[in-house]
Amino acid sequence: MRRVRGGVLVALVAVLATACAAGSTASAPPDPSAVSIGFVAEPANFDFTHTDGAAIPQALLYNVYEGLVKLDERGAIVPLLAESWTVSEDRTIYDFQLRSGVTFGNGAPFTAQDVKFSLERVRTAWTISLKSKMDVVDHVEAVSPTHARVVLARPSNNWLFDLTSRVGAMFTPTGVADLATTPVGTGPYTVAARNRGDSIVLRARTSYWGAKPAYPTVYLRYFRDPTALNNALLSNRIDVISSIAAPDSVPQFASDTRFQVIEGTTTGKVVLAYNNARAPLTDVRVRRAISYAIDRRALLDTAWGGHGTLIGSMVPPTDPWYTDQTADYPYDPDRARALLAEAGVPHPTLRLRVPNLSYAVSAAQVVKSDLGKVGVTVNIEPLDFPAVWLKEVFTGHDYDLSIINHVEARDIVTFGNPKYYWGYDSPRVRQLLAEADSGTEQRQVADLREVARAISADAAADWLFLFPNMIAAKKRVTGLPHNQVGESFDLALLGRA
Amino acid sequence: MLYQFARRLLILLVSLAVASVAVFLFLAVLPGDPAQVALGVNATPELLANTRHEFGLDQPLVVRYLRWIGGVCVGDFGRSYVTGDAVAPQVFDRLGVTLWLVGAGMLVALLIAVPAGTFAATRHRRPSGMLISGASQLGVAVPAFLAGVLLVRVFAVQLRLLPSGGWTPPNQDPVEFLRGLILPALSLGLVQGAVLTRYVRSAVLDVLREDYLRTARAKGLTPFRALARHGLRNAAVPVVTVLGLQLATLLVGAVVVERVFVVPGLGSLLLDSVGNRDLLTAQAVVLLLVVAVLLVNFVVDLLYTALNPRLRQGA
């Protein structure tokens, strides 16, 4: 008995020792040609033509799939598979000069026929609702193998911008048989392996048309739990945290000499939504009063550790029509009280129905306390996100106030949709948005500036802050984007120190 | 004996049927629209209606239940709302991972509990025995996820000896697999081991007081040999019962521990599918857990009679 027990003990110790020893040798010299990046949301599959959500384009766009144009870090539209393009006088005909010598991951050459195939396929084969972004396309012509012409039904600036997103991705007819598991694109990487619930392995293509990426192998690893994600970087399992999920974990990376912390902007606007269609918020004075009553600087410090940027409208600083509107509603509780009294509702009671996400719940506490000081009673109701929030607030419009991060780029256009959950309807804003879409680029900038001013003047919502882009990474990884402007985590930008 | 078996089997089947209804209803009444969650914020009403129809959500509850359970009976768990893949292979994939975790956790628990419990029982009046009792009391009070967080902090973040999480399939890289298994198995096993130690201790203690053991000692056997030859089998009866119950606790504990260690097992699948209102996947996972618990109880009942011949006549 005693000897048996001893044997078991020795065996156990041996197993532990070899396992640990293997660990120290494995993690000591990290493979310099591979990089491992940690994310929170894992793609359900690889087919963004049928499955919505940010996770698939984040992993695949610009990395496996490429479009004619892409978005650079400053938010500008730059050439990718198109070397250049021209726009007709009436802004409905786009002529794209295509790069030659481009091939897909399955060896098929990329030509104007593929442009026609891909853009038309959005309308015929895609099922996600974003496909409506290509509704404006009248038809596509393959003029020559390197010349594609797109004819729009009406002029649209938004369309060219949308081409930088997933709906602009180029496919080949020979590579769409099994998009959910085998994506085939022209990008610098192909999917080499997938371990569901854990990771995706990307390998650089030898036949890629552009510059070779700095890392031949990339591991995209997925961690549902933010603490597990942080621990993975601290314990050398990954090299980069694509987005720090909780601001209170920033100091532990900033104070560690192994790491760098990069902070910039995103397109995520954390909005205190007002239900413009429901009394008493139908009264602009009540909405303005709330905007005056909230100390946004203090809110940002409390809710998100001071990380992030104050904005005064639905526009991040990376959009060309950004102007500083942070002074539109300075913190002024006296004025808020006066406005409420003027509107005849000095002590309204409002339901603040928020998704059960940490930033929303902490911001809700500050909103409740700030509004309490001016006589507004706020009842906070956290709702399960996404299911319940989408049903009750977003679809059902059953709310007075809500808080959510609007992550989509250039979604200022939602203020032109009276059926959107804002319940906001302004004929002038709709008119300006339509003009912005069809006019010249200068016109677009001028019009959207005007829209941003108008929705702020109407206090259509309160823009609490812009969500920060916070990346923590080992110092050897360079080229990480300061600003997250598009849908993609662009691996081609990365470099090795 | 045969009557016993048939009776227990009948109880098992009835419990399964009731459980399937309960599982279905609990998930069906969850607020939120699976089609809306699957399609996201840009979904148009027409698209939503189409998708609801495609998922069969526009059917009455009874029809939905019968369709689902009818499929389940022939091994078809339907297709996931989120991935569009068949649910069954996904769930069984994840089950494999969770079984490794539960198995390893149980092994750790037994390796701790049997020697420690027996030791504490044979020395229950001495400081060393009391120390073990005290330590096990402490272990009982620590939830598995907390043990997990602490283990990660020490062994992964501070010492960097073992990975903080993740999963490598055993056939891909056996060494990495073992390294990844150690911390989750320890956090599950330590707590369960502490609980089990207390049961082993009291079971052995009871046996030690029995007359037949005194007789064995009188024949000249050492305390350990007497216990080994005559005592342990008797002590095993109550322990096996607890072990069965613990297997259920371990499965539930694994759900949480998988989250801490980013292990792609049933637990993480369940959390994700409930969050996404991927009802068919969630139903399959919960049903599987229920079946596992019921089966374990069934087997424990049978083992019970096998271990203790006296129970065979009772019926």
User: Are B41 and A394 inside 8 Å of each other by CB?
Assistant: yes
Say which range, A150-159, A222-231, A486-495, has the weakest mean pLDDT.
Answer: A222-231
3-state secondary structure at position A405? strand
Q: In the structure, what pLDDT confidence band is assigned to residue A30 with cuts at 50, 70 and 90?
A: low
Q: Worst-scoring range by mean pLDDT, A452-461, B210-219, B273-282?
A: B210-219
Contact yes or no for A106/A175 (Cβ under 8 A): yes
A45:B84 CB<8 A: yes
As a whole number of angstroms, the distance between CA B252 and CA B26 comes to 18
Chain B residue at shortest CA distance from A391: B32
CA B161 to chain A, closest CA, distance in angstroms equals 5
Q: Residue B213: CA atoms inside 13 Å, Cβ hemisphere, count?
A: 22
φ and ψ at residue A219, rounded to 5 degrees: -105, 125
> By the 8 A CB rule, do A146 and A97 touch?
yes
By Cβ distance, the residue of B32, B153, B160 closest to A390 is B32
With an 8 Å Cβ cutoff, are A387 and B34 in contact? yes
Determine contact, residues A195/B169, Cβ cutoff 8 Å: yes
pLDDT tier for residue A11 given thresholds of 50, 70 and 90 = low
The predicted pLDDT at position B216 comes to 83
Q: How far is B304 from chain A (nearest CA, A)?
A: 25
- Among the residues of A80-190, which ranges form H helices? 112-124, 157-163
Three-class DSSP category at A121: helix
The minimal CB distance from A387 to the residues B32, B176, B271 is found for B32
Q: Is the predicted pLDDT of residue A16 greater than 70, yes or no?
A: no
pLDDT at A19 over 80: no
Chain B residue with the nearest C-alpha to that of A226: B260
Residue with tokens 């802050």: A465
Q: How far apart are CA A58 and CA A42, in angstroms?
A: 10
Predicted confidence band at A1 (pLDDT cuts at 50, 70, 90)?
very low
Mutate to test the interface with B, among A135, A194, A198 (most CBs of B within 10 A): A198
CA atoms of A258 and A475, how far apart (whole Å): 6
Whole-model pTM: value is: 0.84
Residues of A in contact with B179 (CB under 8 A): 19-20, 22-23
The per-residue pLDDT for range A77-94, each reduced to its tens digit, is 999 999 999 999 999 999
DSSP H helices in A89-238: 112-124, 157-163, 226-234
On whether any CB of chain B is under 8 Å from the CB of A90, the answer is no
What is the 8-class DSSP label of residue B155?
I
Residue A397, chain B, CB below 8 Å: the answer is: no
Pairwise CA distance, residues A360 & A380, whole Å: 11
**CB contacts, 8 Å: B166 with chain A:** 198-199, 221, 232, 237
Q: What is the pLDDT of residues B2-47, one digit of tens each?
A: 787 888 889 889 999 999 999 999 998 888 888 888 777 777 788 8
What is the pLDDT, as a whole number, of residue A50?
86
Task: Nearest by CB to A197, from B43, B111, B264: name it.
Answer: B264
Q: Give the model's pLDDT for residue B18.
A: 93
pLDDT at B167: 85
Cβ atoms A323, A381 nearer than 8 A: no
Mean pLDDT taken over chain A: 91
Residue among B36, B224, B271 minimizing CB distance to A1: B224
Reported as a pLDDT band with limits 50, 70 and 90, residue A10 is low
Give the CA angle between residues A363, A53, B71 to the nearest 5°. Answer: 115
Query: What integer best gives the mean pLDDT of chain B?
Result: 86
A vs B: CB pairs below 8 A = 157
Which residue, among A157, A139, A6, has the nearest Cα to A91 in the 3D structure?
A157
ipTM, 2 decimals?
0.76
Q: Residue B84 pLDDT > 80, yes or no?
A: no
What is the C-alpha separation between A167 and A134, in angstroms, rounded? 8
Most B CBs within 10 A among A390, A395, A402, A404, hence the mutation to make, goes to A390
